[in-house]
Amino acid sequence: MKKILFAASESVPFIKTGGLADVVGSLPKYFDKDKYDVRVMLPKYMCMKEEWKEKLQYYTHFYMDLNWRKQYVGVLIYEHEGITFYFIDNEYYFNGFAPYGDMYADIEKFAFFSKAVLSALPVIDFRPDIIHCHDWQTGLIPIYLDNFRFGTEYYRGIKTIMTIHNLKFQGTWDTKRVRDITGLPQYYFVPDKLEAYKDANYLKGGIVYADKVTTVSNSYAEEIKMPFYGEKLDGLMNAKANCLSGIVNGIDYKEYDPATDQHIEKNFDIDNFRKEKIKNKLALQRELNLTQDSHTMMIGIVSRLTDQKGFDLVAYVMDELCQDAVQIVVLGTGEEQYENMFRHFEWKYQGKVSANIYYSEPLSHRIYASCDAFLMPSLFEPCGLSQLMSLRYGTLPIVRETGGLKDTVEPYNEFEKTGTGFSFTNYNAHEMLATVRYAERIYYDRKRDWNKMVERAMAQDFSWGNSAKQYEALYESM
């Protein structure tokens, strides 16, 4: 039995700001239970929902040095859907209103978390063969592990994987301060280890010291070797090419299932969507005060509202797009300029545009289920889960051909009658608009072809099965 420990800063159902949480919370359930004991370690945030916090059970506590600081480390435990979750407790670090806040504070918070993860292992009596680290928040784990090996036998032989969910966020701060926080020796603070461009860089350190590096799609694994996507680490990604691979994300097919989803008006499946899916559209139009019309093409957006997701393209052509016979439903939070942009267009095109600037899991399900198309024109996209959710609900993705979007959405070919969505190549607002309008034409003028495409989309398999096998193969190779 191989023991694997996931270390991450978020996971469903406990705490989520984006796709990372979906991956960390669902992937562990899909490993072969006879061969792998996969557990997860997370921070215990004060901002977690009460319903979850009250379920966690005290396991143990100890004190840990973080350079000159001495910090309390509580460990809580909870088993959810067959997976053991551990939570690292410290009220000083994890008391914010959101998992992340000021970078200055986060840098110390996740140094604490990373060291605490390793320090807790002997105490909880779970010595993993592999620690699977996710994103910059856990980048220091492979470094601390290297450092710990000098001290005690216990840590020798533990292997690490660093999975990059988003190369843009690296966790960088002034070297001197990071030295003071971490207590790590000067030895690590050089450009071929933890340092990048004069600053300490957690993700880079993790990548350098991990035994294997993965990212969440094949295309993104290739893209980040190039300057445009490499976030100034393309040189490193090239150097690490021999241990870097891409494994595409899946989604939880039980959680996102139009046939059983409790959040949506009317359940449907691949056989009856032609009749049943529009009932969801009508219900959503009612709920959001949009013009009631089952015929109108409805385009959905569920997203963090940031530059990464291509909203400057949307802003640029929104007026033009709103001249068409479409309705646009947005759910998201993020940069103020985009929040206000969508609020503005809701005001300007009443009955046509609905801007929901907040976070809501139930509404997100209703959007995936109710819309005809889903717009995701990302500037870059390591994998993307929203387009997978859309496919599952027969909502055809309109995407830019980048990263995981390119790997998971097959563009419609009207001659061969293949494809599961629509895509465009260049990061250009009018290229995007032309693609949306092409989709409108198919939707309005060739309904049979459209419905065939919905059928193909719903028949796709992006459950975790396949990808979990690839992670298993990776674990075996180590």
Number of shown-chain residues binding ligand ADP (CB under 6 A): 18
Closest CB to ligand GLC among residues 184, 216 = 216
Select the residue interacting with ligand GLC from 165, 277, 392, 406 (CB under 6 A).
165
Question: What is the β-pairing status of strands 130-134 and 244-246?
Answer: unpaired
Q: Which residues contact 23 (CB under 8 A, 6 or more apart)?
A: 134, 165, 216, 249, 385
**Hey, is 77 helix, strand or coil?**
strand
Phi, psi of 217 (to 5 degrees): -160, 160
Query: Residue 216 binds which entry of ligand GLC, ligand ADP, none, with Cβ cut-offs from 5 to 8 Å by kind?
Result: ligand GLC
Closest among 276, 318, 313 to 299, alpha carbons compared: 318
Name the token pair of 380. 């870059």
**Hey, is 478 helix, strand or coil?**
coil
Least Å from the CB of residue 63 to ligand ADP: 35
Strand runs labelled E in 258-372: 297-305, 326-334, 353-356
Select the residue interacting with ligand GLC from 19, 250, 258, 419 (CB under 6 A).
19
258 binds ligand GLC (CB under 6 A): no
Closest among 413, 416, 435 to 426, alpha carbons compared: 435
Least Å from the CB of residue 166 to ligand ADP: 6
What are the distances in angstroms from CA 375 to CA 224, 245, 397, 465? Answer: 24, 28, 6, 26
Amino acid letter for position 374: F
Closest CB to ligand GLC among residues 158, 248 = 248
Closest CB to ligand GLC among residues 73, 248 = 248
Query: By rule CB under 6 A, what string of x and - marks binding of each residue 347-376 to ligand ADP?
Result: ------------xxx--x------------
Selected range binding ligand GLC among 17-25, 182-190, 278-286, 458-466, rule: CB under 6 A: 17-25
Phi, psi of 328 (to 5 degrees): -125, 125
**Hey, is 377 helix, strand or coil?**
coil
Selected range binding ligand ADP among 74-82, 145-153, 299-307, 345-353, rule: CB under 6 A: 299-307
Select the residue interacting with ligand GLC from 28, 74, 258, 384 (CB under 6 A).
384
Cα distance between residue 247 and residue 220, in whole Å: 10
End-to-end CA distance of the chain: 14
Closest CB to ligand ADP among residues 145, 399 = 399
Cα distance between residue 423 and residue 399, in whole Å: 5
Cα distance between residue 238 and residue 206, in whole Å: 15
Least Å from the CB of residue 3 to ligand ADP: 28
382 binds ligand GLC (CB under 6 A): yes
Q: Which residue is nearest to ligand ADP (CB)?
A: 19
Query: By rule CB under 6 A, what string of x and - marks binding of each residue 5-24 to ligand ADP?
Result: -------------xxx-x--
Rounding to the nearest 10 degrees, give the CA dihedral for residues 426, 428, 431, 433. Answer: 140
**Hey, is 102 helix, strand or coil?**
coil
Name the token pair of 45. 């945030």
20 binds ligand GLC (CB under 6 A): yes
Select the residue interacting with ligand ADP from 171, 332, 377, 397 (CB under 6 A).
332
Check residue 412 and report its DSSP letter. Answer: P
Least Å from the CB of residue 182 to ligand ADP: 27
Name the token pair of 279. 């009932």
Closest CB to ligand ADP among residues 280, 364 = 364
Least Å from the CB of residue 423 to ligand ADP: 16
Query: By rule CB under 6 A, what string of x and - marks binding of each residue 325-364 to ligand GLC?
Result: ----------------------------------------
Select the residue interacting with ligand ADP from 11, 160, 172, 386 (CB under 6 A).
386
Cα distance between residue 14 and residue 86, in whole Å: 12
331 binds ligand ADP (CB under 6 A): yes
| Site of interaction with ligand ADP (CB under 6 A) | 18-20, 22, 302-304, 331-333, 359-361, 364, 383-386
| Site of interaction with ligand GLC (CB under 6 A) | 18-20, 23, 165-166, 216, 249, 381-385, 404
